[in-house]
């Protein structure tokens, strides 16, 4: 379905990184893009640069998100907002669990609940859920993040079942390491995280993820690109860890 068959788009977590790149790409495609994030200043700059419509909202503010989705019939929804905290479940605090579940899963469920019925009724729409390779592969730490992204992986597949017989497409994007500041947001030290995780690595850029999403949306109507894993060429997930104890 070409972009010209869609009119409106909602992008969460839109102020920086992958979200901002998606907003930029959608605006170039001629969509009326509603960009949601908490940072009013960054959204103002994004709107000046792209022509998007900024909404300084928290995706967990159900009243505000309900009002927005009732005001605008969205044809395309990109659930990009997400948070992560360091550490495994062994040292997690109450807030580590609550925040990640609320932002990464609960908010997504509500946004889909608020937008997908209209798509089904109109027989037209596309939902893009930004998941992670953490939804599929296991690696050290970030247990709660893995769990919430695995839930998004399952949800994305289930939504296709819920839309059976309607031209509503669901795409899950599972990025590996991308050159964004997410690692700094987790650690609290953006510069140190950039040196550790970004500098010197050959990584996809946020625009590469936006291009992949645009490819999925622009695919022929009979084509649903349901899942994409997008990793750096030099990043390999998986591997075996075997511990030998000398008790």
| Catalytic site positions | 145
* C-alpha neighbours within 13 Å on the C-beta side of residue 229: 12
Crossing angle of helices 143-162 and 107-122, rounded to 10°: 20
The Cα–Cα gap between 78 and 14 comes to 10
The conformation of residue 165, written as its DSSP 8-state character, comes to T
169 backbone dihedrals φ, ψ, rounded to 5°: -105, 145
| Contact (CB, 8 A) for 174 and 230 | yes
Coil vs helix vs strand at 209: helix
- For residue 97, give both structure tokens: 């669990």
The Cα–Cα gap between 52 and 73 comes to 16
Query: Which residues contact residue 206 at a Cβ distance below 8 angstroms, ignoring those fewer than 6 apart?
Result: 17, 18, 20, 21, 178, 179, 180
């Amino acid at each position: 379905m070409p972009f010209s068959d869609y009119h409106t788009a909602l992008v969460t977590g839109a102020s920086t990184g992958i979200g901002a790149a998606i907003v930029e790409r959608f605006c170039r495609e001629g969509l009326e893009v509603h960009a949601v994030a908490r940072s009013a200043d960054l959204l103002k700059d994004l709107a000046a640069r792209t022509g998007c419509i900024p909404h300084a909202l928290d995706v967990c503010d159900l009243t505000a998100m309900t009002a927005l989705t009732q005001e605008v019939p969205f044809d395309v929804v990109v659930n990009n907002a997400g948070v992560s905290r360091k550490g495994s479940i062994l040292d997690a605090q109450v807030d580590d669990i609550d925040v990640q579940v609320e932002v990464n899963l609960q908010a997504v469920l509500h946004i889909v609940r608020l937008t997908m019925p209209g798509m089904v009724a109109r027989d037209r729409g596309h939902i893009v859920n930004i998941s992670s390779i953490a939804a599929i592969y296991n690696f050290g730490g970030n247990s709660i993040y893995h769990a919430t992204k695995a839930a998004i992986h399952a949800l994305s597949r289930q939504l296709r079942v819920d839309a059976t017989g309607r031209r509503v497409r669901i795409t899950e994007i599972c990025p590996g390491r991308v050159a964004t500041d997410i690692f700094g947001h987790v650690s609290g030290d953006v510069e140190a995280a950039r040196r550790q995780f970004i500098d010197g690595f050959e990584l996809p850029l946020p625009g590469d993820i936006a291009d992949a999403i645009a490819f999925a949306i622009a695919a022929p109507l009979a084509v649903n690109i349901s899942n994409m894993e997008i990793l750096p060429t030099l990043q390999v997930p998986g591997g075996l860890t075997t511990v030998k104890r000398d008790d």
